[in-house]
Structure 1
Amino acid sequence: MSVSLHFSEIADVYKFFNIDKPLKHPLVAVVDFSDVDESVEENTRISGDYYCLLFKRYDGNNVRYGRKVIDFNHGSLMCIAPNQVLEMETDIGAYTEKEGWGVFFHPDLIRNTSLQDKMNDYSFFSYEVWEALHMSEKEKQIFYDCVQNLDNELHENIDQHTQNVIVSHIELLLNYCARFYGRQFITRKSVNSTVVMHVEKILRHYFSGPGLQEQGLPTVKKLADKVNLSPGYLSDLLKKETGKNAQDHIHYYLIEEAKNILTGTDKSVAEVAYLLGFEYPQYFNKLFKQKTGKTPVEFRNLN
């Protein structure tokens, strides 16, 4: 039987890990996993109203999260957004030799700060848990030092500078996440190239076959599902490899097929739009001009 747990406050994290110490700041916490009890029943679903960065390592076994097995023997970092569900199918309480840390912060902590405006840029919060960041020993040390500095600040007396300093420490951690994910995309270039080729094959088949008439315009989510990645991770991977995100790739093949139909048939622009899966021809006109600099009629007349 599955169990669902939802934490609304940072204090709930302390209760979950049986941490018996005062919470100095109600909107942020740092947890050292090496000295807490985190026994979790099998088939437990966990979510919260806060962001968290989790770095964990369990010696001797893998841990299953959702549909994927995550190898934590060397340690991985997961970045989890509010209300994202973490499904745990293995009793992690069985692993006694574990280490790592967690940083938990509530959106209210960064509300009306410059960091709040940047959160959408940290696309790794939309990745699935199996797309965790695998760090080198040097990168782990950099993260650990940042976490220690944040933890030290949380033990200081609160004054008028406390929130700005805490938010700055968190922003530094997120910037390192962005840098190290960028490195991971580079070091996995051969694997990523295979994904790119698979994506292009899927789109070619989709636009040359009956997919448009049967399913309508492809979405980033549908494309990501076909290559077993999250939409955010796929878009970032494609951007690193080709300079175009997933939506750009879809639009490229869409416009190329539109050009083929416009120059190879005498169908009206409205018929072309419907054929390509658009419910409203004006949306097709707008996208076509945005991508080519010409309306469909102007393009047909020139070709």
Structure 2
Amino acid sequence: MKQEINTINSISQLHQVFGFDKPTHPLISIVDVSKWEIPEHFIGVKYTSELYTIGLKDKSCGLQYGRNTYDFDEGVLIFTAPNQVQSVSKSQKLDEIQGWMLFFHPDLIRNNSLGNNIDNYGFFSYDVHEALHLSDLEQKTITDCKSMIQNEISERIDNHSQTVISSSLELLLNLSKRYYERQFNTRSSQNSDVVSQFHTILSSYYKDGKFTESGIPSVEYFSEKIYLSGNYLSDLLKKETGYSIKDHINNFIIEKAKTLLLCETESINGIAYSLGFNYPHYFSRLFKNKTGLTPQEYRSQN
């Protein structure tokens, strides 16, 4: 029997479910993890929420996220977006873990610049094992941003509160984006291995005839092979090579198409099908966008 997934729709409901005091703001809340007791009966219960979450924890804390279970052994920053299934894998006593969890509802940022740009922070869709590992100074800076927000929601709300809270939250996310870039840089040798692995998988997919059989590979296809989330893998490739997963796939297709156009007597429609396109005009559009020529023009001129 499929286990029921519980849904948390609001900050108030979050506080009620986990036994916190009544929130001081309807759209954002910060919880002291040391005061968060998780009893045995919460273990394995699946839940999803309509809230964004940012969490800083200092040591091992069992968390199951999607298909992965992970225990943190040092201070890390975790991000989750709305509608992602999570569950707790072990109980937690008072003062067992140090840190904080920040929750906010999309309505908090819906009518400002952060709301327009929230999708640019891809780390909200990273897997748990791709969490951000912070230096002591970075951790202090992030915590200072959290404290600014906490001061705002603890004091009496006024006409400026929404702007200050959103601006502080945006600063926290921009700093996290910077620190993730640092993390990519400090793991450059590991990242190079991932880039090489990605290209090997892409080449094998073509050699095995899967473009023709199954179509153009998806981001999920590579993320499952490499054991990284799609967003993290795409961001890693972008940082290392300047190109996203989609860019790499399209560039690969164009190079194969050039060879086929010059070396084969296959029709352009046939080449499009062999490269995974169900509709040849999509292939022609991509080819012209990348080369400035239609496939027929390229074949004629070469």
Looking at structure 2, the residues matched to 243 and 259 of structure 1 have their Cα atoms a distance apart, in angstroms, of 22
Looking at structure 1, the residues matched to 178 and 143 of structure 2 have their Cα atoms a distance apart, in angstroms, of 15
- 2:156 maps to 157
Summarize the alignment of residues 39-188 of structure 1 with structure 2, pairs less than 5 Å apart. Answer: 39=39, 41-58=42-59, 64-88=64-88, 90-93=89-92, 97-188=96-187
Q: Secondary structure at the match of 1:98?
A: coil
- 1:248-299 superposed Cα distances (whole Å, 9 cap, x missing partner): 1111111111111111111111111111111111000000011111111111
Looking at structure 1, the residues matched to 266 and 4 of structure 2 have their Cα atoms a distance apart, in angstroms, of 56
List gaps (5 residues or longer) in structure 2. Answer: none
- 1:11 maps to 12
TM-score, normalised to structure 1, is 0.93
TM-score, normalised to structure 2, is 0.93
List gaps (5 residues or longer) in structure 1. Answer: none
The change in CA–CA distance for 1:79 and 1:62 in structure 2 (over 3 A counts) is: closer
Amino acid at match of 2:68: K
Looking at structure 1, the residues matched to 28 and 82 of structure 2 have their Cα atoms a distance apart, in angstroms, of 14
Q: Secondary structure at the match of 1:46?
A: strand
Amino acid at match of 2:132: L
Q: Does 1:241 align with 2:240?
A: yes
- 1:24 maps to 24
| C-alpha contact (below 8 Å) 1:54/1:103 kept by paired residues | yes
**Deviation at 1:244?**
0.3
Amino acid at match of 1:159: D
| C-alpha contact (below 8 Å) 1:39/1:92 kept by paired residues | yes
Looking at structure 2, the residues matched to 52 and 116 of structure 1 have their Cα atoms a distance apart, in angstroms, of 15
The change in CA–CA distance for 1:28 and 1:63 in structure 2 (over 3 A counts) is: closer
**Deviation at 1:56?**
1.7
| C-alpha contact (below 8 Å) 1:65/1:130 kept by paired residues | no
The change in CA–CA distance for 1:64 and 1:106 in structure 2 (over 3 A counts) is: closer
CA RMSD of aligned residues (A): 1.9
- 1:216-273 superposed Cα distances (whole Å, 9 cap, x missing partner): 1111121222111111111100000000000011111111111111111111111111
User: How many residues align structurally?
Assistant: 300
**Deviation at 1:70?**
2.5
Please identify, of 235-244 and 163-172, the stretch whose mean Cα deviation from structure 2 is larger: 163-172
Q: Secondary structure at the match of 1:166?
A: helix
| C-alpha contact (below 8 Å) 2:54/2:78 kept by paired residues | yes
Looking at structure 2, the residues matched to 58 and 39 of structure 1 have their Cα atoms a distance apart, in angstroms, of 19
Looking at structure 2, the residues matched to 30 and 155 of structure 1 have their Cα atoms a distance apart, in angstroms, of 10
- 1:45-85 superposed Cα distances (whole Å, 9 cap, x missing partner): 221111110112335x7655454342422122111111111
| C-alpha contact (below 8 Å) 2:52/2:104 kept by paired residues | yes
Q: Secondary structure at the match of 1:101?
A: strand
- 1:139-186 superposed Cα distances (whole Å, 9 cap, x missing partner): 111111111111111111111111111111111111111111111111
Q: Secondary structure at the match of 2:39?
A: coil
| C-alpha contact (below 8 Å) 2:149/2:168 kept by paired residues | yes
The change in CA–CA distance for 1:163 and 1:95 in structure 2 (over 3 A counts) is: closer
| C-alpha contact (below 8 Å) 1:62/1:73 kept by paired residues | no
Amino acid at match of 2:215: G
| C-alpha contact (below 8 Å) 2:36/2:93 kept by paired residues | no
Looking at structure 2, the residues matched to 25 and 56 of structure 1 have their Cα atoms a distance apart, in angstroms, of 23
Amino acid at match of 2:82: P
- 1:35 maps to 35
| Fraction of identical pairs, as percent | 43
The change in CA–CA distance for 1:132 and 1:198 in structure 2 (over 3 A counts) is: same
